[in-house]
Every structure is written in structure tokens, then in C-alpha cells.
Chains A and B, each alone.
Chain A
């Protein structure tokens, strides 16, 4: 499926401006890279420890006009008025924050009502009642706007997922006793970028997972230790590996998860196979339940009929995915289930389901499924197999 980038930019901006008007805001100021991506503003992929100090700032008006302050002027989307593109402002210091206020007042008029996704360090001391700008919570605007994906966004997510899955095939072939986690990461990144990934968004996880919790990395809640950052530790015959990898294509995040056994001839134990079958049954239940009009809680309740404990205590049944690796909606978190009755499932939502079926002492099965909610139900966008668990697996 092709992507019409002009259409995607236009439709996303329309969604944001609708949301701005619904929130009765004059505009929104965006600091976070995923929100920049959503309005079509590009910048180099950098670590969280660099993002704020080489800041790109975007202000969007209710008319869909963009004002931009950035060290990367060529990252401006097509159609932005050239005199709306300015040099970057260091808003982590007071003088910079004051400068930003000046420029926003010039663009929006005296004491505008502006949403902001994050308050930078330099603005903290300027939030009093005499503030020149009436700030409001940016999430109120961005979250509803980004919830439903357009067809082009779904195409981007699908492409990102394919790149991830193709790179993974080579990694899975390299999984042998004696290989180091970092060697798997190196191979994964090499293949992913050769296949067209535009950025890496998470340190690849090859979670070495002892079969019982008592022998795992210590955790706050005593549950399975996952995810644990990769290391140069090497893997051994029979190791249970829960993997989790993410990659970005044109701003959209993929999410791949699987359960592997490190072995030249992997043979899952009967108990592990049983966990796998229960995982597949659980996902079938999701595919049957998930449709427009149902609530997030409906899906969780249906799953709980099968598996009362469907995941790790510190995670969830599913998270949304788009310009962020994990974004709204979240299903089956530690929120009270009744609160999720108010979260309506709508067509265009994209989610990653990542249940875990765990039997302590035997181990468990975890995978991830990228799903889009359609007009009548849902569709699985992930396209991976379950080797060495599926029947007749060549592996």
C-alpha cells in the first residue's frame, strides 16, 4: 500500500486543528519529537538527552498554520511560510523562555490561550498568575487528535512492521548458543537500516528469562523481570528469550515481540507449548471482541474470562502505537476496569497487544500483535510466525 505523504500531513493537521477548536485553545506549542513528527516537522533522530537542548519548537494555529523555531530549517514541511521559520531558542534558560513568550505573543496576540505538551525548564518560573500566556495541558489536544490513524498512517505502520520482521528473520537465524545479546543487536540494526528503517527507537531487547521468577532479575512487584536492557552477556543452550524490538519508518513505530529458545534444535517443552496455545486462544478472543463501539474494558473482560492474569503486573494488555512507540489507548493497565468502560474503541485505532501467559517454573509465552480497528472489526497487521512453537515449524 502506497503512502500519500501530502495527504497524510494535511489530514493529521486537520485532526489537530479540530481538536484545538474543541479544546477552545488559540493554538498549541509542541516540544516532543513525536508531536513534531505528527505535524510533519522533521529533525535528526537524537537521544532524549539531546532533544531538549537542541530544541525544535512548533506552534500550530487553529487555522493550521505552523510557526517553527529550529536549528534544522530544512525539516520544515512543505507549505510553511518561510518567514515563520526561525532560529532555535534555548528555552531551558530564563532568557530563552522570555524570548519564546515574545514570539508567541507576536504570533497569537496578547495573552493567548495556548496548549503545550511539556513545560521546558526555563518556563517553570514564569507560570504565575501574571503569566503572559494562559497555558493549558497539551495532551488534551494531541491525544484525541492522534487516536484515529488515517490510511496513510496505517500504511506507514505496516511498512515499519515489515522492516522489523524481515530484519528479525536474520537475527533468529543467528540465534545460537554462545551468541552475545549485543551481537544480535548489531545484526538487527544492520539489517533493519539496509531494509529501509529511518531510525532506531529502542535498544533491542533479547530478554534472558529464567523459567521461574525466583531466579530472575529482582523486580519491584515480584513479577517476571521484563524488559531488561541488553548486555554483552552470551546466551546458552535452552535459554528462554523474550524479544522486543522497535524501528521507525517515516516517523511510525513498529513493535515486534516473540518468544525464542536458544538452541541449534529448539524443542519447546510441553508446558511451554501449552502457554503458547493459550496465548493464541487469547489473541483469537481479542480478534473476535475488538470492534468499533465496544469499550477498552470489554476487551479486557473478554480476555480475563480466558486468562485472569493476562500479562505482567507492570504492563498492560495493549497499547496504542503511532508516532510514539506506546501511546493512547492503553488497555488492561492498573487502572480500575470501570474507568476503561469510558474508553470507546473507534475505527482507525492502531494497537499492539502484548499478553504474556506465564506458568512459574515452566516459563511462558509472549509475543506482540499489531492490530488496526476497522469499520467492522479489526485486522492483524503483524505478519510473523511463531517458530519454534507453531506446528510443523521448520526451526
Chain B
């Protein structure tokens, strides 16, 4: 989808992001950056690549040269339509299947063969060898951690992009909620989710979606079920649209059929809401991932099985709290004003679970929810002190 409309001055956004990358290169004395990761190319150049789900083997598709302040991007097809307007025809290069030609393409990038320090966001063993031939004297250094730091702190226009992405996801999830009834399958909901995103002009996905009954597992549900849902079942509806590269992840647990939600489901929602509110409220500048781990522990819920706070922007921007690396790594992840984080909370017990995800803007005034979607029938059901005789005794 083109980036030339609605509330955002993309040329200025691209220029601001590019300036930040060049400033970081200056600070770290890096002469050339070679990016193969799509999000970094998108950040540096505003490159709009044909969307595909799988990754491609690491090759530099976006190059920044400090001496010339030029940015060069690869056109994977020959069309230059996916290159932003502020790049000239000379700034776009093709690809080749011939190793000699590939080497020549990179060697022809002005400034690359003379580089002393080259920053990369990934590598392959083969590309490392090619770099040794093109620039034998250059030192190759990791630049991914730097890019993560830059990308996490959002410019105002990026917040606007994220709001649009969330709006698309919510519209698409609402369509699945409206279609949820006994007999419908997760696949049919997934079909409607993707259909609605495409209708809104953004047929690209950060996460293709979760549409299934939550089972009592320690890790959150994902994927979709081919079986029909039954009346009185909770159903997880979650996914993420992309808009101009920015991702809007949203998750909810809905309720199938006209049967009143059971008190056990409502109790899980209450737990979910309590934990989520507590975590969201703690998302403030200066707070570390390890601090958030402590906030989680204090809720009394069992330890999370996947990161429950993570950076969101041009896709996923790395775990912040609840990561598999443990508290030492989480302690190094510190929230700053301007960051946007996904807060996803999975509550489970022997009978089932409740999943939900919110997108949170960490501002100097405190956390602001960027998600606006309601929590549906379970949240609307009255919490009952004792199960009603109308309800079934247990979830499943």
C-alpha cells in the first residue's frame, strides 16, 4: 500500500529516521551499514518490499554510506516502485544469482570498498567471506543492538502509524467476533480476519492470527483450529496487521454463542484484567524489564512462559520482560519515554485460560493504551459469587 496519505508526512518521517541512523554511525565511527533485516531497511530508507512471510537468506538489501550520506536499496524485482521518492534511480541496485556479479554490485556501491568499519544487522558465512574480498581491510561489527535502540524510541509520526495499524487489526478482529457462532471454525475466522485487512488496503500481516479455544497449557495459544466452535466456549481472537510497516498487535478472548459466559470464564477475565492493568500501569520511563518481572511475580500468577512485554514498531522490537534469557537480560532492557510495547497476558488454570494483548505507548506522562477494542461478552457478563445453576459445572 502506498504511503502518501492520511495524517502522516512520510517524506519527513523517512528523513528523521535516516538522520538518526547516520548520527548513530557517526557516534560509533561506523563508515557503512549493511542491512539485510527488513525492519532496518524500512527504518533507514522507507523501503517498501513486496510482502512475504518467510525470511530471505541474509544479504545486504539496504546500505547507508556515511561519507556520502547516501542510502542504497535493492529492488528484488526490477521495479523501482517500492523505492521511496527521495531515492534516485542510481540509489537502487538489482540482485544477481551469479556470485561474481553479486560481488561486483556491492563493490560498485560508492564508499563500500573503502570502508574501515562496517556495521551489519546479521550475516551469513558466505556473505562474510564476500565482504572479506570486497573490503579486505574492514572490520565488521554488529549494529543490530544499536538499531533496536533507535527503533524503540518513536517519533510522533510513528505513533500515528501504530494507531492506524491497531485500527486495522481491531476492525478485522471485530469482523471475526461478529462472525463467531456455534459451528464456525477457526479457519473461517482466520479467512475473515485476513479478508478484512485486505479490504482496508493493507493485505500484509505481522501475525496471521490466533483463532482457537484456549486450552489449559502453560504457554499462550496460537494458530487456528479446523473444528467448529461450540456454544459456551471461549475463543481467542488475536493477530496483527501491518500499516506502512508498523505493526498493530491486538488480542482478546471472546465467547461463542448466546449462552451466558460461565463464572469461571469471567473469573479468569478478572484475573487477566488485574494483571494486565498492573503491568500496563508499571510501563513508565526508567522501569526495567527486571522491574516488570517483579511486578508480574507480585500478582501471584505463575511465571510467564513467553515474554509478556516486548517492543513494537516496525514489527517486533525485542523482548523486554519475561524473556527466556532471565532477569539479567531483562535488567538491561529499560523503558524510555517514546517507546511502544506490547503487553500480552495469558492466564491459565486446570480448566482453561484467558488471553489478551494491549499496545501501550510509554509517554513521559505515563502509559497510554493504543488499543481501543472492547473485551466482549465475557467482560460484559456479571461476576457471580457462586456459579448459577444455569451454568455447566466446568469449562470442558
Residue on A with the closest CB to B328?
A95
- Tell me the A75-119 residues at the B interface (CB within 8 Å): 86-90, 92-96, 99, 116-119
Within 8 A of A (CB), among B268-311: 305-307, 310-311
A193 touches B191 (CB 8 A): yes
On whether A46 and B206 interact (CB within 8 A), knowing A122-B142, A187-B195, A229-B51, the answer reads: yes
Q: Are A44 and B323 within 8 A (Cβ)? A: no
Tell whether B386 is near chain A: CB-to-CB under 8 Å: no
Docked Cα-Cα span, A330 to B99, in Å, equals 14
Contact yes or no, A88 B201, CB < 8 A: no
B133 interface contact, C-beta 8 A? no
Chain B proximity of A118: nearest CB distance (Å): 5
A99, A125, A200, A330, most chain B CB atoms within 10 A: A200
Q: What is the distance, in angstroms, from B197's C-beta to the closest C-beta of chain A? A: 8
Say yes or no: is A267 at the interface (Cβ < 8 Å to chain B). no
Contact of A92 among B93, B144, B226 (CB under 8 A): B144
Contact code string A118-160 (vs B, CB < 8 Å = 1, else 0): 1111111101000000011111000000000000000000000
Residue A265 interfacial (CB < 8 Å): no
Proximity string of chain A (5-41) to chain B, C-beta cutoff 8 Å, 1 when within and 0 when not: 0000000000000000000000000001110000000
Choose the segment among B10-18, B20-28, B75-83, B350-358 that binds chain A (4+ C-beta atoms closer than 8 Å): B75-83
CA distance A204 to B50 in the complex (A): 9
Q: Which of A47, A94, A325 contacts B204 (CB 8 A)?
A: A47
Residues of the A chain whose Cβ atoms lie less than 8 Å from the Cβ of B57 = 32, 117-118, 139
Given A121-B145, A203-B50, A227-B50, A335 contacting B194 (CB threshold 8 A): no
A373 to chain B, nearest CB (A): 20
User: Is A230's beta carbon under 8 Å from chain B?
Assistant: yes
Q: Given the complex of chains A and B, what is the CA–CA distance between A333 and B99 in angstroms?
A: 12
A interface footprint on B366-395 (CB within 8 Å = 1, 0 otherwise): 000000000000000000000000000000
Name the residue in A90, A116, A232, A336 with the highest tally of chain B Cβ atoms < 10 Å from its Cβ.
Answer: A90
Distance of A235 from chain B, by nearest CB (Å):
15
Q: Does B138 contact A (CB under 8 A)?
A: no
User: Closest residue of chain B to A199, judged by CB?
Assistant: B208
Contact of A228 among B79, B126, B328 (CB under 8 A): B79
Assembly CA distance A144 to B16 (angstroms): 45
Contact among A94, A119, A200 with B145 in the assembled complex (CB-CB below 8 Å): A94
Report the count of interface residues on A (CB-CB < 8 A): 96
Q: Do B318 and A90 touch (CB < 8 A)?
A: yes
Of A33, A94, A220, chain B has the most CB atoms within 10 Å of the CB of A220
Q: Quick one: given A47-B315, A125-B141, are A201 and B122 in contact (CB under 8 Å)? A: no
Within 8 A of A (CB), among B26-47: 37-39, 42
Set B42, B79, B89, B329: member contacting A96, Cβ < 8 A: B329
Report yes or no: B97 in contact with A334, Cβ–Cβ below 8 A: yes
Docked CA distance A138–B52 (Å): 22
- Asked if A182 is at the interface (CB within 8 A of a chain B CB), the reply is yes
Beta-carbon contact of A203 and B192 below 8 Å = no
Q: Which of B59-116 touch A at CB < 8 Å? A: 75, 77-82, 89, 92-98, 101
Interface 9-residue window, one of B154-162, B216-224, B228-236, B250-258: B216-224
Whether B187 is near chain A, meaning CB under 8 Å from some CB there, is: yes
The distance in angstroms between the C-alpha atoms of A188 and B191, with both chains bound, is 9
Given A118-B58, A199-B208, A316-B97, verify A225-B78 contact (CB < 8 Å): yes
Contact partner of A314 (CB less than 8 A), chosen from B77, B120, B318, is B77
Flag if B188 contacts A336 (CB, 8 Å). Answer: no
Identify B192's interface contact among A93, A190, A232, CB under 8 A. A190
* A192 interface contact, C-beta 8 A: yes
CA distance A51 to B191 in the complex (A): 22
Known: A44-B223, A200-B205. A221 touches B94 (CB 8 A): yes
Given contacts A119-B125, A137-B124, A225-B78, contact A201 B325 (CB under 8 A): no
Question: In the complex, A334 Cα to B141 Cα: how many Å?
Answer: 32
Question: In the complex, A47→B312 CA distance in Å?
Answer: 13
A138 to chain B, nearest CB (A): 7
Shortest Cβ gap from B317 to chain A (Å): 6
13 extra interface residue pairs, beta carbon distance < 8 Å, beyond A52-B55, A54-B307: A33-B55, A46-B53, A46-B205, A53-B310, A53-B318, A71-B219, A71-B305, A87-B324, A94-B142, A95-B328, A95-B332, A202-B51, A217-B81
The 5 closest A-B pairs by CB, nearest first: A49-B315, A121-B144, A87-B324, A193-B191, A333-B97
Binding site for A on B (CB under 8 A): 1-2, 37-39, 42, 48, 50-58, 75, 77-82, 89, 92-98, 101, 120-126, 128, 140-145, 148, 187-188, 190-192, 194-196, 198-201, 203-208, 210, 217, 219, 222-223, 226, 242, 245, 247, 305-307, 310-311, 314-319, 323-325, 328-329, 332
